[in-house]
Amino acid sequence: MVQPGGTFYSALFLLTLKGAVGDTWGVAYSLPSLCVLRGSSAAMSCNYTYPSQHVVTRAFWCNYPMDTDLTQQPRYAGRARAACNTTEQRCSLIIDGPNAGDDDQYNCRILADQTLNKWTGRPGIMLSTTDLQVEIVGAATEGNDVRLVCKTSCYLSSSPTYSWKKNGEPLEMEPTKNNELLLHPVSREDGGRYSCAVKGHEDLSSAEVDLNVTYSPKNTTALVSMPAEIPEGGSVTLSCSSDANPPVQNYTWFKENVTSPVAAGQNFTITNFTSAENGLYYCQAANPLGSQNSSAVPLRVSSPAAVTLISMYVGVAAAALVTLSALSWFFVWFCRRNREMKKDGSKDVLPNFAEKDASVDNVPQDDVQYSTISVQQPNGRLDAGPSTVDAVHYSTLKFGRAAPGDAAQYASVHFPQTGPGDGCGVVYSNVAHRK
């Protein structure tokens, strides 16, 4: 049995040998057995004594029952280094990169009197090599206590300390005990790939082991495919999502204040939506470890009045555009007629419409701003001929809701200055409706 401690012990394992003539020989090993990491190194030593009438000519290491120098064996070539001093009566051996094939018994052999006497100390040191393996102890379900154990096939003689990695990154702050990593309790964030190593030999770490933490559904959410207001007779689809391990097996849909489920499955579609379907809907996600409900989402049928009102807005906007277009051509004609009469010395016939407001009392769309129409002179003058009168630009028609209670301006007609004194560079009319 291997005891805790350093690489070597001060206590010696003593072997007494009997010589052919009855003399006593003594061989002491550093320890009876040795356990090391595969790929590291194995160091061992022996001390020997012999009767003074003999002369030791050579000492070396061998594998029982073989009695040849192991440094000369092909499988140890370049890996085994022995140092034997006949004066000090001591032999040491270091094997670099030991592997499973090196598991064997190692003995000191002594040659004396020009090999007339040969002695092998038996039993020798039993060498065992091991790899590291991570073992998961405990059910890896969220909330349970789990231990990760760094295991070896034999008890390492160096009494090492251990280090851990998760997904290839060192774990410095996690609680450890001897060769164990403690997850108390385990959570879904602890899931990942774990490996262990002996400090000082991090390059000889274990293979990675996947810690698969199971948990009940989390972050369950209900999503709707369109705005919460659905046109009557239309359709709407709701989808449910959730994070769970193992994955969600059952999705169930409920409507608040209704005892029975309204549907099953991850997606739920309501066709021919009516006011009877108005309400709050939520989903439930379940796996073998538990279930979770989502927050409720509201669904309701949209008001028919809203659709009618939009149609009215479009109709009034079109009518306003036609009216304003006619006004623009009327004022262009007045500008031209005014200039012609001035040439003849006639009195200015252009009516003074500047900044004059006209109330429109019968327009029901009091929250729509329709447009602004501008007449521009792109090239030449208006009196240059009929073609220049045709080069009039109009703005686009825009409409949108005004804030409740605000005065809404429907349109303005603006004529730019076409020439000195022609009087057309002012706003001739504003058509506005006030609430």
> Which residue in 231, 427, 395, 212 sits closest to 321, CA to CA?
395
Q: CB neighbours of 16 closer than 8 A, spacing ≥ 6?
A: 24, 25, 26, 27
Mean pLDDT, the chain cut into blocks of 10 residues (435 residues total): 30 39 72 95 92 85 88 92 90 96 93 77 93 96 96 90 94 81 94 94 95 97 85 92 97 94 96 92 97 95 58 49 55 61 53 43 44 43 41 42 44 46 44 41
Predicted pLDDT of residue 54: 82
**Residue 215: which of 286, 308, 118, 300 has the closest Cα?**
286
Look at residue 319 in the predicted model and tell me its pLDDT: 52
Half-sphere exposure of 48 (CA within 13 A, CB side): 33
How far is Cα 157 from Cα 33, in angstroms, rounded to an integer? 9
d(CA 432, CA 430): 6
CB within 8 A of 414, min separation 6: which ones?
372, 373, 374, 375, 427
pLDDT at 5: 30
Count how many Cα atoms sit within 13 Å of the Cα of residue 148 in the half-sphere of its side chain: 32
Alpha-carbon distance values, 335 to 228, 324, 412 (Å): 54, 17, 18
What is the spatial order of strands in the sheet that 373-374 belongs to?
356-359, 427-433, 408-414, 373-374
Q: What is the pLDDT of residues 383-401, one digit of tens each?
A: 444 444 444 444 444 444 4
Residue type for position 166: K
| pLDDT tens string 132-169 | 999 999 999 999 999 999 999 999 988 889 999 999 99
**Whether 397 contacts 370, CB under 8 Å:** yes
